[in-house]
Amino acid sequence: MRLLIVSTFLCLIGIVSASETISFRHDVMAVLSKGGCNNGGCHGNAHGRGSLRLSLRGEFPDEDLLALTQSNASRLLRIDAPEKSTLLQKPTLQIGHEGEKRFEVGSLEYETLRQWIAQGAAADPDDAPTLTSLEVTPATCVVEAPTDHFQIHVSALFSDGTRRNVSRWAVYEPSELNVSIDAHGRVEALRPGETTITVRYLHLQAPVQAAFIPARADFAWIAPAPVNAIDRAVFAKLKRLRMNPSPRCDDATFIRRVSLDLLGLLPTAVEARAFVADPHPHKRAALVESMLARPAFATRWALKWSDLLRNEEKALDEKGVRVFHEWIRSAMAANEPLDAFARDLVTTLGSTYEAPPANYYRALRDPTLRAEATAQLFLGTRLQCARCHRHPYERWTQDDYYQFAAVFDGLGYEILENERRDRLDKNQFIGEQIVKVGMERELKDPRTGEPPAAALLPIPGMPLPESDPAALDTLATWMTAPENPLFAKVQANRVWFQLMGRGVVDPVDDFRSTNPPINPDLLKVLERELIVSGFNLRHLIRLITASHTYQASAHPTASNAQDERNFSHTIARRLDAEVLLDAIHQVLGTQPTFSDVDSPLRAGELPGVESIHRNRKPKPDEHFLKLFGRPARQLNSDLERSNGTSLAQVFEMMSGRTLHRLLSQEGNALTTMLASELSPEDMITALYWSTLTRAPSPRECEAALAHLQAAPNQRSGLEDLTWALLNAHAFLLRN
């Protein structure tokens, strides 16, 4: 005890005295982490580096002790001559080290390792105190210029009641590159902005959220009155950051925005012009209300959930995909509460044709996949890392992983028929299956070779139920309970993400202490509203779309232009593949064509993905959807859909088969327009409204007229203008 206190004191003043006892677990392990030695890119790699392999981020100190002391490279530790140990010579570059210099001769790191070796490179005594908790202050810190730094204090609490200042030994990892942090935890701004710093000491970690705010001497808070609790939460943060929200968008932008977001459809010129002309003061709310009642609203969410639930033909077959899609669509149309919806998915057994939600499990063919998907979709928790090692940024251990997977073990399939077209493809199923529990258990913990006992995830603040954790009913009740600290937040955050383009927690399915919400109060508002409304999706959407935050313009103010995450203004984002394709067809009055589809469908109505992702030559519309990121539905993740822009997409829009064919197609909207009585000016105006939901400016109108006159014929001139409108930022992006 006395020694520990001495050590604390000496560490504080930066001296390592020759007399103290170095603890392997607390001192040496801290050096290995602080030096980055056990990172995944270095000796923490699964194969180690050079001849030394350490556990990733020091997960297994006992193994690391063995690796150091029983290494084949006998010169690693030289108890007779500690300075000659390669453990000291390599990281100080006295001899070659691929990982470069990690610390200096004579540094605290060096002295700690040297003394530990000199003292016999021993393990800690069995009764040595263990680390029980970490206190990191401040948890959040707003630093206003001209101040450009702050200090993080880290205290470690041990099982014998002692407390030790470990600021010098903690590892500091910022999420953004706008700060530098020295060895002692002093954080200095390199440029203004926010960052989350993960502070790690031994096996514990905690986040510090920091914001560095520029001086803005002339800043004055100017904002409209908050519409609801969302705005109050968002504005409070913006005010702290000295940013003003952008003003409200105009009516035309609003109808375009809600139409794309809620229905996946471009507003028609008629709808848009009527809305803009409508003098009613509450017309925005009325518009949202009318959209929530339209079938396209349910279809939009059926597409979203079909993406998330792996609704694809290889595992579910065509009929399965259809009935599953229809079940989701109906649930959304009927406004089934999101908790009941989730419960149906995780508890439904039986025929995948007769009981459509059973397709959730049909798509997830083994217990670990079911556990990973359930955790990620409904609890925003990515367990995958814990399959092989303790989650590096989270609390989850391999025990948690395999015990949770065991909840889904014994679930299986009675395959009534399998008419797979390719008998060699064991991923393909065509025919009815009965999803059942109580089937043969298949899961083994790879570390023991034994089947793990079932247990739900030990979420802090959520008591584990007393009933059988392996019963799916228990799982559903525990998972969807209003008091579950994750379920409602995750669902509310997903709805927010769909409408705003960025989660309050982002990525949207990665909730963890080290990835905190950008605005905790906002997340609380959304969670509370979802719960008190009875998990009512439409209620939450009404609330969000009514807020000033949702309705803010995409034009930044002087103070918020740099902001991308606090919802101070709207960030333009590319339309989803289906929305874009349907918008093009709507403008041109044409229909997309897909394989194996009997009745005409919009891209947004397609139940499955096979026509897009099968291995044969796709039709142009199918090619288009794939190119623009319609996912193959193999991940259960919001992030599988990729709305990133690529050169190939731009070539497709510029000169590819789809758009060019549609533009020049006889009988399309341009044909109709040319056959009408419209003047050139009226044609131009009509095209602007149907594509960009606005009238042309005088300058645009003039240029378009000049182009039509100069063109070899009116048709080709109109095609050019329409091409330009369909390739405009304001068409391709939702803003």
Partner 1 sequence: MRRSTACRSFHETSRHRRLLLKAGGMGLLGLTMPKLMQGAAASERVQKIAPRAKNVIFLFQFGGPSHVDMFDMKPDAPSAYRSPHGRISTRMAGMEINEHLPEVAQVMDEFTVIRSMHHTMKNHNSAAYYALSGHAPPSDDQRLRDTPDLYPAYGSVVDCLAPSTDPALPTFVSYPHTIADGSRTPGQHASFLGKRHDPLFIPRDPNKTNFQLPELSLPEDLSLDRLQQRRGLQQLIDQQSQLLDHAAEAKGLNDYYAKALSMLHSPRVRQAFDLSQEPASLRERYGRTTYGQGCLLARRLVEAGVKFTTVYFSRSIGGRSKTDGGWDTHGFDNTRMFPIIESYHLPITDQTLPTLITDLKMRGLLDETLVLWMGEFGRTPKINKNVSRDHWPQCYSVLLAGGGVKRGYIYGASDAKGEHPAEDPVTPEDLAATIYYLLGIDPNAMIIDTQDRPLPISSGKPILDIIA
Find the binding residues for partner 1 in span 195-254 (CB under 8 A): 198
102/343 with CB nearer partner 1: 102
Per-residue burial over 284-296, b = 16 or more CB atoms within 10 Å of its CB, e = otherwise? beebbeebbeeeb
Is the CB of 252 or the CB of 288 nearer to partner 1? 252
664-683 residues in contact with partner 1 (CB under 8 A) are 664
Query: Which DSSP letter does residue 42 get?
Result: T
CA distance 327 to 356: 6
Position among 147, 642, 676, 709 found at the interface with partner 1 (CB under 8 A) = 642
For residue 711, count CB atoms less than 10 angstroms from its CB and return exposed for 0-12, middle for 13-18, buried for 19 or more.
middle
As to burial, measured by CB atoms within 10 angstroms (0-12 exposed, 13-18 middle, 19+ buried), residue 186 is middle
| Two tokens, residue 322 | 């259809």
DSSP letters spanning 304-333: HHHHHTT--HHHHHHHHHHHHHHHHHHHHH
Cis peptide bond N-terminal to 600, omega within 30: no
Residues of span 457-476 touching partner 1 by CB under 8 A: none
Per-residue x/- track, 113-152, partner 1 (CB under 8 A):
----------------------------------------
Between residues 322 and 573, which has the closer beta carbon with respect to partner 1?
573
Task: Compute the least distance from the CB of residue 89 to partner 1, in Å.
Answer: 16
Strands (E) located in 410-481: 412-415, 433-436
Pick from 73, 453, 561, 674: which binds partner 1 (CB under 8 A)?
A: 561
Task: Using CB atoms within 10 Å of the CB of residue 28, give its burial: 0 to 12 exposed, 13 to 18 middle, 19+ buried.
Answer: buried
Site string for partner 1, 41-80 (x = CB under 8 A): xx--xxx-x-------------------------------
Q: Is 735 in the site for partner 1 (CB under 8 A)?
A: yes
User: Which tokens belong to 297?
Assistant: 């609203």
Amino acid at 481: A
Part of the chain binding partner 1 (CB under 8 A), chosen from 111-119, 482-490, 583-591, 694-702: 694-702
Q: Is 650 in the site for partner 1 (CB under 8 A)?
A: yes
15 binds partner 1 (CB under 8 A): no
Q: Which is nearer to partner 1, 59 or 510 (CB)?
A: 510
Considering only 130, 645, 676, 709, the residue that binds partner 1 (CB under 8 A) is 645
Measured CA distances, 182 to 152, 174, 197, 279, 344 (Å): 10, 12, 13, 59, 51
Selected range binding partner 1 among 68-76, 330-338, 476-484, 642-650, rule: CB under 8 A: 642-650
| φ, ψ (nearest 5 deg) of residue 359 | -65, -20
Phi, psi of 134 (to 5 degrees): -125, 135
Of the pair 474, 693, the CB lying nearest partner 1 is at 693
565 binding partner 1? (CB under 8 A): no
Q: Of 635 and 678, which has the nearer Cβ to partner 1?
A: 635
Nearer to partner 1, 646 or 672 (CB): 646
DSSP summary character for residue 718: H
96 sits near partner 1 (criterion: CB under 8 A): no
- Tell me the C-alpha distance between 684 and 452, whole Å: 68
**Does 649 interact with partner 1 (rule: CB under 8 A)?**
yes
Six token digits for residue 637: 């993740």
Q: Which of 422, 442, 450, 681 binds partner 1 (CB under 8 A)?
A: 422
CB 688 within 8 A of CB 728: no
Residue 183 contacts partner 1 per CB under 8 A: yes
CA 630 centroid distance within chain: 17
Q: Find the binding residues for partner 1 in span 283-342 (CB under 8 A).
A: 314
Q: What tokens were used for 208?
A: 């510090």
Q: CB of 402: closest distance to partner 1 in angstroms?
A: 17
Task: Report how far Cα 298 is from the mean position of its chain's Cα atoms.
Answer: 23
Q: Degrees (nearest 5) of the Cα angle 409, 411, 415?
A: 140
**Residue number with CB closer to partner 1 (14 or 600):** 14
Q: Map the footprint of partner 1 across residues 592-631, applying CB under 8 A.
A: 615, 627, 629, 631
Give the amino acid at 504: V
CB nearer to partner 1: give 242 or 310. 310
Stretch that binds partner 1, among 212-220, 222-230, 277-285, 651-659 (CB under 8 A): 651-659
- 256 and 276 Cβ atoms separated by less than 8 Å: no
The amino acid present at 50, given as its one-letter code, is G
The rounded distance, in Å, linking the Cα atoms of 359 and 392 is: 32
Query: Which residue's structure tokens are 């040297």?
Result: 114
Please state, in angstroms and as integers, the Cα–Cα distance from residue 664 to each residue in 20, 56, 648, 720, following that order: 84, 59, 21, 10
- How many Å apart are CA 24 and CA 1, to the nearest integer? 16
Among 493, 545, 637, 668, contact with partner 1 (rule: CB under 8 A)? 637
Residue 311: alpha-carbon gap to chain centroid: 20
Read off the tokens for 448.
């023991």
Of 591 and 645, nearer to partner 1 (C-beta) is 645
**Contact call for residue 429 and partner 1 (CB under 8 A):** no
Q: Which of 62, 182, 417, 450 binds partner 1 (CB under 8 A)?
A: 182
Q: Report the alpha-carbon distance of residue 386 to residue 370 in Å, rounded.
A: 15
Q: Closest distance between partner 1 and the C-beta of residue 633, in Å?
A: 10
Q: Which of 590, 640, 678, 680 binds partner 1 (CB under 8 A)?
A: 640
Judged on CB neighbours under 10 Å (0-12, 13-18, 19+), 298 is buried
Q: Does 723 interact with partner 1 (rule: CB under 8 A)?
A: yes
Question: With contacts defined by CB under 8 A, how many residues of the chain interact with partner 1?
Answer: 101
Of residues 3, 12, 17, 40, which one binds partner 1 by CB under 8 A? 40
Q: Which of residues 541-560 bind partner 1 (CB under 8 A)?
A: 554-556
Among 10, 69, 84, 99, binds partner 1 (CB under 8 A): 99
Question: Shortest distance, CB of residue 382 to partner 1, whole angstroms?
Answer: 5
User: Which positions from 488 to 527 touch partner 1 by CB under 8 A, shown as an x/- string?
Assistant: -------------xx----x--x---x-------------
Does residue 88 touch partner 1 according to CB under 8 A? no
Binding mask 252-291 for partner 1 (x = CB under 8 A): ----------------------------------------
C-alpha to C-alpha distance for 539 and 57, rounded to whole angstroms: 44
The residue (of 39 and 566) whose beta carbon lies closer to partner 1 is 39
729 binds partner 1 (CB under 8 A): yes
Of 69, 71, 165, 175, the one binding partner 1 (CB under 8 A) is 175
Considering only the stretches 273-281, 338-346, 454-462, 693-701, report the one whose residues sit in contact with partner 1 under the rule CB under 8 A.
693-701
| 713 lies in the binding site for partner 1 (CB under 8 A) | no
Site for partner 1 in 376-405 (CB under 8 A): 382, 384-385, 393
Report which secondary-structure segment, H or E, holds 495.
helix 487-500
Strand partners, 52: 49
Q: Which residues neighbour 226 within 8 Å (Cβ) at sequence distance 6 or greater?
A: 232, 235, 548
